[in-house]
Structure 1
Amino acid sequence: MTRLTLIVVWMLLFYAANGHAERRAGGPFVGDRPQQVEDEYVLEPDDLAVENWVTRLEVPWSLVFLKGGRALVSERQGRIRIVQDGRLTERAYATLDVAHEGEGGLMGLALHPRFPEQPFVYAMHTYRDKGNSYNRVIRLRDQGSTGILDRVVVDGIPGARFHNGGRIAFGPDDMLYVCTGDATLPEIAQDMQNLGGKILRLTPEGEIPGDNPFQGSPIYSLGHRNPQGLAWHPRTRALFASDHGPSGEFGLRGKDSIKVIRKGGNYGWPVAIGKTEIKAYVEPLVMWDKATPPGGIAFLEEDLYVATMRSETLIRIRLGEKDPAEVEGIERLFGRDSSDGIYGRLRDVVRGPDGNLYVLTTNRDGRGKPGPQDDRILRLKTRGASGLGER
């Protein structure tokens, strides 16, 4: 055991002994949830009118809006589909060779920050090579009705049937952020030589920015289990992320969370969960004891919306006007209880160029109860929003 390891172990035992966290045998230190408010269920919110925008998709994962009334939606089995003025076109924009197993396959989409002048669409997907699973981010060149492969942006990300992360997004700094999961190997989330269990930060060309927190590394933050949502606060530009808690590891379940991501921050998995007050790890902003698994997240004004799967609700987190790190309220929209919602499992939520929210269901992923119109993209019309316009 190295001197550094001994110091870390001593620190963890010290904080646990002082009542800040409870440690499961052979597992992580588990603290309380950080928020001081209880979730409120709102079955039919007065300020949102819901309508079907697109129907009969096959496990949609991500949605991006182009100009001219067009949008692209990814389906996990490998297709990118075009939505034109609210109608799904028959021909696929692109069909990728992916490993569609378990939770793997085609996942996140993102547009180059200067699209369409730089006509590139980014996609993250799982693939197999010599019997092993990996994830990578590729770049397609937009040609109007089709996209053709331009280059591989980042490769060698661990993959598995479960815990692939998969969300990608460009930040206000025009850098590409990539969510990676622990690929069911919890220990890699703390391994700085491994890209799993991290949030990565890269240039649009896939290069490592000079101002990344760890010299020569694409790693922006570590200690994540299965992050699937990224969004920036519209006023402070702080980065928020969603992450899945354990689903049986160490005898634990639930503990899904929303985090404010700090440059170089370590978020604890698999050593610490929740409000442990262990200074080596950044605590989550919100944590739920019951399994909620959050997917995509999006801001509408200064409220954070969270698509959730098992809880089948769109969660709205009311953040403090003066301090966005303060949680003033949590509403579970369209939910009857902790696992029963009107629209079923929700994978992603996106703010459209018209000011409305667009929500992707994932009822055909093998864990839901699909209806005849599933999977769907729902449009949630907000007060004062207009029809679909250009970016």
Structure 2
Amino acid sequence: MNINILSCKQPAVKEVNKISELQNQIKENDSSAYVVELVADNLFVPWSIVFTAPERMLFTERNGSLRIIKDGKLIAKPLKVFEEVSSKGEEGLMGLALDPDYKNNKYIYLSYAYPEDDDLKVKVVRYKDNDTELTDEKIIIDGLPAERYHAGCRIKFGPDGKLYITTGDAGKRELAQVKNSLYGKILRLNSDGTVPSDNPFPGNPVWSYGHRNSQGIDWYPGTDIMYSTEHGPSGFDGPGGGDEVNIIVKGGNYGWPVVSHKESEEGMISPALEFTPAIAPAAGLFYRSDSIKQFKNNFFFGCLRGSGIMRVIVDEKDPVKIISYKKLNDVNYGRIREVTEGPDGAIYFSTSNRDGRGTVREGDDKIYRIRAE
């Protein structure tokens, strides 16, 4: 089945990849190339990680704390505690991103859920990072949909310098198909919160729609080809499973809730990969370093229900074509949420075992790194 691509800048996706044809095609023993090391423990659902310098990591904890690891040591006092944060369900302090010009302007961006009247909403805020405190708060966008479930909210700057924000359907699935609604979307904004003039729908922050709950985004290195991970139905709003890896195009309609799993509909884009039973895909990363050579340009994402890290090999000559996929060996630490690349060429990942759905292990939650052997 062909997938209709709506952006003339991006190559066409030739056909949906069939899991049964791809599974376990990675033959080599990938664990021989790396070792896994503990970075920090006794955390609470570390959701997103960035590096402001080789020796300084910032990360969010879902209960509202922005934490620092400096020179390999966890700083006891949070950089900031967001008192406004609501974290009763899946929501909380979530996405974290650095401005593309961070070295000069010191701007960081965070997303979090907050109560508004009798409802829950999500906002994205910008601060100046002054090493020991945050100043100059600016609301980039607020009033985004949230609920105790399906709240998004991954934020990341693309190669075009624009800020991309994922939103969940917040339980109002039908609104994912409404273009002037912010439910079930991927948004695209300028760094100051204004709407770019080249967005697909004039004056509208929506970049793509028809999403259920996307929680991972990244771009194939050197291109504007955007990959996204998305949670499929949980059983109460459709047959279980149907988790997705999507290739996101400008103005694309990804079908939810009209279609899911391997269903198709004219004018709606089918997933590049579909997973049933569910694996609950979280953060996504294209690995850019040469440190672990066989991982170069591979796509990785955390699995919450699937418990591990999935490695996806993409055709370097045709980056919208997926060749194979397999979970990494020896990454058996429970639910994995964040997956990101450090300036040292290591892959950093976080567990999410204290989120109410995992089996809590001694010292959870934790941040680990995968480095070259």
Shared fold (TM-score greater than 0.5)?
yes
CA distance in 1, matches of 2:362, 2:71: 22
Q: Give the 4+ runs in structure 1 shifted more than 6 A.
A: 40-44
RMSD between superposed Cα atoms in Å: 2.0
The answer to whether structure 1 residue 358 and structure 2 residue 351 are counterparts is no
CA distance in 1, matches of 2:48, 2:354: 15
**Which range is displaced more, 45-54 or 209-218?**
45-54
Q: For residues 250 and 122 of structure 1, do their structure 2 counterparts lie closer, same or farther at Cα, with a shift above 3 Å needed?
A: closer
**Which range is displaced more, 155-164 or 325-334?**
325-334
Structure 1: gaps spanning 5 or more residues: 1-14, 16-31, 336-340, 384-391
Shift of 1:274: 3.9
- Aligned partner of 1:227 in structure 2 is 214
User: Percent same amino acid among aligned pairs?
Assistant: 38
- How many aligned positions are there? 349
- Aligned partner of 2:74 in structure 1 is 88
The answer to whether structure 1 residue 61 and structure 2 residue 47 are counterparts is yes
SS in 2 for 1:207: coil
> Match for 1:129: what amino acid?
E
- Aligned partner of 2:318 in structure 1 is 323
Shift of 1:147: 1.4
Q: For residues 39 and 196 of structure 1, do their structure 2 counterparts lie closer, same or farther at Cα, with a shift above 3 Å needed?
A: farther
> Match for 1:253: what amino acid?
G
- Aligned partner of 1:382 in structure 2 is 372
Question: Which deviations, in whole Å up to 9, do the C-alpha atoms of 1:203-230 show, x marking residues without a partner?
Answer: 0100000000100100000000000001
Shift of 1:275: 4.2
> Match for 1:82: what amino acid?
I
CA distance in 1, matches of 2:222, 2:103: 25
Q: Which has the larger Rg?
A: 1
- Aligned partner of 1:270 in structure 2 is 257
CA distance in 2, matches of 1:361, 1:377: 7
CA contact (8 A) 2:185 2:210 kept: yes
Shift of 1:185: 1.1
Question: Which deviations, in whole Å up to 9, do the C-alpha atoms of 1:10-58 show, x marking residues without a partner?
Answer: xxxxx9xxxxxxxxxxxxxxxx864431247999722221000111111
The answer to whether structure 1 residue 75 and structure 2 residue 70 are counterparts is no
Which of residues 334, 344, 350 is equivalent to 2:334? 344
SS in 2 for 1:136: strand
- Aligned partner of 2:11 in structure 1 is none
Shift of 1:323: 1.4
Structure 2: gaps spanning 5 or more residues: 2-15, 288-295
SS in 2 for 1:144: coil
TM-score, normalised relative to structure 1: 0.85
CA contact (8 A) 1:34 1:275 kept: no
SS in 1 for 2:104: coil
Which of residues 149, 153, 166 is equivalent to 2:153? 166
CA distance in 2, matches of 1:181, 1:50: 32
CA contact (8 A) 1:33 1:288 kept: no
Shift of 1:250: 4.5
- Aligned partner of 2:5 in structure 1 is none
Shift of 1:137: 0.4
The answer to whether structure 1 residue 284 and structure 2 residue 255 are counterparts is no
- Aligned partner of 2:166 in structure 1 is 179
> Match for 2:249: what amino acid?
R
SS in 2 for 1:45: helix
Which of residues 37, 42, 47 is equivalent to 2:22? 37
